[in-house]
Amino acid sequence: MRELNGLELQGFIKERQAKQVRNLRQQFRIIPKLLIVMSEHASDVIHTYVRMKQRYAADILIDVDIVIVTQSEIPQVIKRANADALVHGVIVQLPLDNPEQTDEICNLIAPAKDVDGLGATAAYASATAEAIDWLLTGYNVELRDKHIVLLGHGKLVGAPLAKLWKSRGLQVTVLDEHSDRVAETLQRSDVIVSATGVPRILKAEWVKPGAIVVDAGTASEGGTIVGDADERLRERDDVTITPAKGGVGPLTYTLLFDHVIQSALKNAGQL
């Protein structure tokens, strides 16, 4: 098995980001800041993700404020953050207690501060979709003339990634729970991005030799984060795949903070 390791790429990007933040602080007296809004009922897995973001931000000297409130209070928190010139990025840590309100709440974030790229008019691309794109580019994976399949069409990964790649004229097939002949379609695919959040849904026998697999699915089983890929798929030596840990995840929050830096640079008149 060959790996697409997001942590390796993260190191190069992080070095550049740290220099940009130092420059913003020293030359323009601007301290890049991200506000994370969380539900008071967020799971342990969500708290773990937020701590990872905090640690990364601390390493590159970006401030992170965390506000934990009831879902009904989130709109007011976003409204205050939109009006605060010292806040450069705002994200709502998903999932919400009532997921039906996800679009409505994400759309409240000012487009220029929507660094996760989840609102309908966000100034930035989806951080997760962009992370997958950067990961494949970083490993010199040529997508043109490849048969690409996205397994899952969710708001965080599948839908924005399909939009991004289709806009470039790439051959993208999207599969979801309503699709027919899923196994047959996957078996013909050169590149598979799986983001269903259903543990081990992507079976080893559904992936052809030489295929490239990005496992962007996350679910919690007994407090442990697991992906979409079956363990037997990871044991194969004829596929290229993201590792169980350190694949897309690290690059997602790296891209998130790239957007925060871009927002701060715009405030400084440098973009």
pLDDT 10s digits, 70-122: 999 999 999 999 999 999 999 999 889 999 999 999 999 999 999 999 999 99
For residue 146 the two structure tokens come to: 């490849």
pTM of the entire predicted model: 0.90
With CA atoms as reference, report the closest residue to 107 among 92, 129, 86, 87: 92
User: Residue with structure tokens 């939109």?
Assistant: 82
Q: Strand 33-39 to strand 89-92: parallel, antiparallel, or no bridges (unpaired)?
A: parallel
Tell me: domain 127-244, CATH 3.40.50.720, correct?
A: yes
Ordered per-residue pLDDT tens for the chain, 271 residues: 588 999 889 999 999 999 999 999 999 999 999 999 999 999 887 898 899 999 999 999 999 999 999 999 999 999 999 999 999 999 999 889 999 999 999 999 999 999 999 999 999 999 999 999 999 999 999 999 999 999 999 888 999 999 999 999 999 999 998 999 999 999 999 999 999 989 999 999 999 999 999 999 987 777 677 899 999 999 999 999 999 888 898 999 999 999 999 999 999 888 7
- 37 phi and psi angles, rounded to 5 deg: -100, 125
**What are the residue boundaries of the structural domains of the chain, listed by start?**
14-113, 127-244
With CA atoms as reference, report the closest residue to 38 among 47, 27, 29, 26: 47
With CA atoms as reference, report the closest residue to 1 among 142, 209, 252: 209
| DSSP 3-state of 54 | helix
Residue 145 vs residues 140, 168, 238: alpha-carbon distances, Å:
14, 12, 20
Question: Is the CB of residue 35 less than 8 Å from the CB of residue 65?
Answer: yes
Cα distance between residue 250 and residue 55, in whole Å? 12
Cα distance between residue 208 and residue 71, in whole Å? 44
95: preceding bond cis by omega (within 30 degrees): yes
| DSSP 3-state of 134 | helix
Please state which of the four CATH numbers 3.40.640.10, 3.40.50.10860, 3.30.420.10, 3.50.50.60 is assigned to the domain occupying 14-113: 3.40.50.10860
Cα distance between residue 155 and residue 167, in whole Å? 17
Residue 162 amino acid letter = A
Is there a common fold for 14-113 and 127-244? yes
